[in-house]
Amino acid sequence: MKRILILGAGTAGTIVANKLAHELDLNEWKITVVDQSEIHYYQPGFLFIPFGIYSKNDVMRPRRDYLPRQVEVIISEIELIEPDKNRVRIKKDNRTLPYDFLIITTGSRIVPEETPGLKEHEWRKTIYDFYTPDGATALARQLRRWQGGRLVLNIVEMPIKCPVAPLEFMFLADWFFHEQGIRDRVDLTFVTPLPGAFTKPRASALLGDILEEKNINVETEFNVMEVDPDAKKIISYDEREIEYDLLVTIPTNMGDPVIERSGMGDELNFVPTEKRTLKAKDYDNVFVLGDATNLPSSKAGSVAHFQGEVFIDNFLRYIDGLPLRETFDGHANCYIESGFGKGFLIDFNYDVEPLPGKYPLPGIGPFSLLQESRLNHWGKVLFRWMYWNILLKGKPMPITAEMTMAGKWL
């Protein structure tokens, strides 16, 4: 029996486990998945928790329910990867798991400790995150009783997972405070290290206009050095200061500490990965998918999904001794919730920035690319259903893995 070991059963790990179990002869292959917790969170849902749209219960499901029965599931923390010895050490029973092929899907997480002043005595009092279920829930409690003032959202540094989520947060905050009848008492400021609202020029210009329309201030190229939790201000390296009453932070995102412990990561504990094949740069029997890679593609569930399709084709070739194909193009697509029941959809890859058009059927849609519509909002709402029922199961989505230029307006 040959062994495949999958580390992390989040979005990417679950997709890969389902695809491998479906494609491989399980008399020849043994597939094992390790994850530290029994609960799978639908992370895109975290965005809606602060505004009382979802609760924590709405975004959690038993992890095992989404993994195929033929796969061995071990719930344990992963202690150390030893790629030179083709084995992994886990905490539970001090076990050592040997492998023939390793798939790393340990994702990324926020590390507020990287910024002085952030995770100290004001943490979850006047400073909140919404990238964790507990942070989003605490923020919901705070927003429900907040009477207004200066709300500042700060992205500490790039890359972050789901780079549009902070913008969506601002759009939803604008809507939420309108609904509460206190929008005139709330000052909203979006503070980013980027030169504009988003990473890609055309989408950035468009999203910047919407921020302005919604009366949301924008401070760009702001690299936060520290937070002064008592004076309630954030201070940049070039000595700019922004005062807040309520700070919503997107802390530094990093790969899991196990990557660092194992000496396999870059400065942010992301694993150096071949851009178009998803093989680990330094190892021939290790693949990396999802947020755990150092690739310049977005860290998003949709990307994990597209990577899953490219990976499975490639992996089946590879185990038959054929060379890997360079087929991953960085494809991402994101629904952007813009508040008041509307939304946008953007679709892009390594080389092509988001363009207006119709998606997924050229000229027909039904979803409009880079244009605000009610249907795009429903796309986002439907995404939760698709996530649990189609995406995680590795079933084909009504979307192709490589980006198509048809239907886009250049």
Partner 1 sequence: MATATLDLPVELDAEGFLVNPNDWTPEIAEKLAADEGIELTDRHWQVINFVREDFAKTGEPPTLRRITKQSGVSTKELYQLFPKGPAKKVARIAGLGKPKGCI
Distance between start and end Cα atoms, the chain: 51
Q: Does 266 bind partner 1 (CB under 8 A)?
A: yes
Q: Does 129 bind ligand FAD (CB under 6 A)?
A: no
Pure H helices in 224-373: 257-261, 301-318
224 to 253: interface string for partner 1, x by CB under 8 A: -x-----------xx---------------
Q: How far apart are alpha carbons 380 and 342 in whole angstroms?
A: 10
Question: Are 12 and 290 a contacting pair, CB within 8 Å?
Answer: yes
258 versus 403: smaller Cβ distance to ligand FAD? 258
CA dihedral in degrees (45, 51, 54, 60; nearest 10)?
A: 50
Residue 127 binds which of partner 1, ligand FAD, none (CB < 5-8 A, kind-dependent):
none
Q: Does 379 bind partner 1 (CB under 8 A)?
A: no
Q: How far apart are alpha carbons 181 and 86 in whole angstroms?
A: 59
Give CA separation, 299 vs 29, 118, 303, in Å.
30, 23, 7
Q: Does 223 bind partner 1 (CB under 8 A)?
A: yes
Q: How far apart are alpha carbons 180 and 195 in whole angstroms?
A: 32
Q: Does 36 bind ligand FAD (CB under 6 A)?
A: yes
Cβ at position 263, least distance to ligand FAD in Å: 15
Q: How far apart are alpha carbons 3 and 1 in whole angstroms?
A: 6
Cβ at position 184, least distance to partner 1 in Å: 35
Q: Does 60 bind partner 1 (CB under 8 A)?
A: no
Q: How far apart are alpha carbons 356 and 363 in whole angstroms?
A: 11
Q: If we measure between CA atoms, which residue out of 343, 329, 336 comes closest to residue 404?
A: 329
Name residues contacting ligand FAD, limited to 208-267 (CB under 6 A): 256, 258
Q: Does 350 bind partner 1 (CB under 8 A)?
A: yes
296 versus 341: smaller Cβ distance to partner 1? 296
Q: Does 329 bind ligand FAD (CB under 6 A)?
A: no
Radius of gyration of the chain (CA): 21
Considering all CA atoms of the chain, what is the largest pairwise distance in Å, rounded to the nearest integer?
66
Residue 342 binds which of ligand FAD, partner 1, none (CB < 5-8 A, kind-dependent):
none
Pure H helices in 295-391: 301-318, 374-386
Residue 268 binds which of partner 1, ligand FAD, none (CB < 5-8 A, kind-dependent):
partner 1
140 versus 156: smaller Cβ distance to partner 1? 156
Q: How far apart are alpha carbons 285 and 307 in whole angstroms?
A: 17
Judged by CB under 6 A, which stretch of 115-123, 189-197, 262-270, 289-297 contacts ligand FAD? Answer: 289-297
Cβ at position 195, least distance to partner 1 in Å: 8
Judged by CB under 6 A, which stretch of 42-50, 151-159, 205-213, 235-243 contacts ligand FAD? Answer: 42-50
**Contact residues: ligand FAD, CB under 6 A:** 8-13, 34-37, 43-44, 46-47, 77-78, 105-107, 130-131, 161-162, 165, 256, 258, 290-292, 299-302, 304, 334
